[in-house]
Amino acid sequence: MAITTTKTAFWQGFRDGLPFVLVLAPFAALFGVVATEAGLNVFETLMFSVAVVAGAAQFTAVQLLSENTPTLIVILSALAVNLRMAMYSASLAPHFGPAPVWQRALAAYVTVDQSFAVSIARFEREPDMTVQQKLAYFFGVIAPVLPNWYLFTLLGAWGGKSVPPELALDFAVPITFLAMIGPMLRSIPHVAAALVSVAGSLIFTFVPFNMGLLIAAVLAMMTGAYAELWFSKRERSDG
Same domain, 180 and 204: no
| E-strand stretches of the chain | none
What's the confidence (pLDDT) of residue 179? 57
Q: Is residue 169 scored above 60 in pLDDT?
A: no
CB 163 within 8 A of CB 37: no
Q: How far apart are CA 235 and CA 225, in angstroms?
A: 15
Q: Is residue 76 scored above 60 in pLDDT?
A: yes
Q: With bands split at pLDDT 50, 70 and 90, how would you rate the model's confidence at 64?
A: confident
Task: Answer yes or no: is 1 within a domain.
Answer: no
Between 136 and 73, residue with greater pLDDT: 136
Poorest-confidence range of 8-17, 20-29, 112-121? 20-29
Q: Closest by alpha carbon to 48, among 21, 18, 28?
A: 28
Q: How far apart are CA 171 and CA 177, in angstroms?
A: 11
Q: What is the mean predicted confidence (pLDDT) over 66-78?
A: 80
Range of the domain at 139: 6-184
Q: Closest by alpha carbon to 157, among 46, 17, 19, 21?
A: 46
Between 38 and 136, residue with greater pLDDT: 136
Same domain, 145 and 236: no
Q: Is residue 153 scored above 80 in pLDDT?
A: yes
Same domain, 168 and 217: no
Q: With bands split at pLDDT 50, 70 and 90, how would you rate the model's confidence at 231?
A: confident
Last residue of a domain, one of 184, 199, 225: 184
Residue 67 phi, psi dihedral angles, 5° rounding: -95, 10
Q: What is the count of structural domains for the chain?
A: 2
Q: What is the mean predicted confidence (pLDDT) over 69-76?
A: 81
Same domain, 204 and 172: no
Beta-carbon neighbour count of residue 223 at 10 Å? 19
Q: Is residue 203 scored above 80 in pLDDT?
A: yes
What's the confidence (pLDDT) of residue 154? 93
What's the confidence (pLDDT) of residue 100? 93
Same domain, 150 and 217: no
Between 81 and 143, residue with greater pLDDT: 143
What's the confidence (pLDDT) of residue 7? 92
Between 172 and 141, residue with greater pLDDT: 141
Same domain, 129 and 50: yes
CB 56 within 8 A of CB 182: no
Task: Answer yes or no: is 125 within a domain.
Answer: yes
Last residue of a domain, one of 184, 205, 227: 184
Q: Is residue 21 scored above 80 in pLDDT?
A: yes
Task: Answer yes or no: is 73 within a domain.
Answer: yes
Task: Please enumerate in sequence order all residues whose Cβ is within 8 A of that of 38, keeping only pairs 6 or more positions apart, or say none.
Answer: 62, 63, 65, 66
Q: What is the mean predicted confidence (pLDDT) over 49-58?
A: 85
Q: Is residue 174 scored above 90 in pLDDT?
A: no
- Across the chain, what does the average pLDDT equal? 83
What's the confidence (pLDDT) of residue 173? 54
Q: How far apart are CA 220 and CA 194, in angstroms?
A: 7
